[in-house]
């Protein structure tokens, strides 16, 4: 009787050992495939070609320099436009839009596109000064806005524009923009 009991116990332990060996073998094969896939996968590194300084983003919010770079690029994209590139212009600005403000921004941009489509009116903006407030996520850009009909300059005015941003995680989204009135225009 003891021999039968011992035999049964030995068989039970052998089945457990064989089952654990099978699971360990499966895990080893899975690990090898995972390591192989990770070793052969393309790696991505985000490079910022517009500055030689190191930029860092943290959950505390964007620093002033990063907000300035984003505002600069957005202002130049938003305020330099011609009738030939209006669809691309609108699509690129909407890529920067905060999801909550996407519809409102698109409505504003569609108005601009409708006004300018089919005309010869272009505009160019040259930045002179920029002020950023990372705590309030706002930035103000001041410069010269030139309006062209064909190749002829028909207006050249100093203008200021305010950009409002929102932050979701580490990403900034454009909430809105507006032209500010000068003190001379208010009086």
Please indicate, yes or no, whether residues 18 and 87 belong to a single structural domain of this protein. no
**CATH assignment of the domain containing 152:** 3.10.450.230
The whole-number pLDDT of residue 57 equals: 65
Please indicate, yes or no, whether residues 168 and 77 belong to a single structural domain of this protein. yes
The whole-number pLDDT of residue 186 equals: 46
Q: Is residue 50 part of a domain?
A: no
For 90-128, how does the pLDDT look when each residue is reduced to its tens digit (9 = 90+)? 999 999 899 999 999 999 999 989 988 888 889 999 999
Please indicate, yes or no, whether residues 180 and 110 belong to a single structural domain of this protein. yes
Q: What percent of the chain has pLDDT over 70?
A: 87
Please indicate, yes or no, whether residues 83 and 18 belong to a single structural domain of this protein. no
Please indicate, yes or no, whether residues 124 and 80 belong to a single structural domain of this protein. yes
Strand, helix or coil at 135?
Answer: coil
CA-CA-CA-CA torsion for 146, 149, 150, 156, nearest 10 degrees?
A: -20
pTM of the model: 0.67
Please indicate, yes or no, whether residues 92 and 174 belong to a single structural domain of this protein. yes
Enclosing domain of residue 29: 1-44
Q: Is residue 74 part of a domain?
A: yes
The number of distinct structural domains making up the chain is 2
């Amino acid at each position: 009787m003891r021999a039968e009991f011992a035999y049964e116990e030995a068989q039970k332990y052998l089945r457990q050992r064989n089952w654990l060996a099978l699971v360990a073998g499966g895990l080893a094969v899975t690990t090898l495939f995972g390591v192989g896939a990770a070793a052969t996968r393309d790696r991505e590194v985000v490079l910022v070609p517009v500055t030689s300084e190191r930029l860092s983003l943290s959950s505390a919010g964007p620093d002033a320099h990063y907000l300035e770079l984003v505002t600069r690029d957005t202002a130049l994209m938003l305020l330099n436009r011609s009738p030939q590139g209006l669809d691309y212009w609108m699509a690129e600005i909407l890529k920067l839009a905060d999801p909550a403000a996407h519809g409102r921004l698109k409505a504003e941009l569609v108005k601009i596109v409708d006004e300018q489509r089919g005309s010869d009116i272009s505009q160019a903006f040259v930045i002179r000064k920029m002020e950023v407030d990372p705590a309030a996520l706002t930035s103000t850009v001041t410069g010269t806005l030139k309006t062209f009909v064909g190749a002829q300059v028909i207006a050249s005015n100093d203008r200021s524009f305010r950009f409002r941003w929102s932050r979701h995680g580490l990403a900034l989204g454009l909430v809105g923009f507006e032209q500010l009135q000068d003190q001379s225009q208010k009086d």
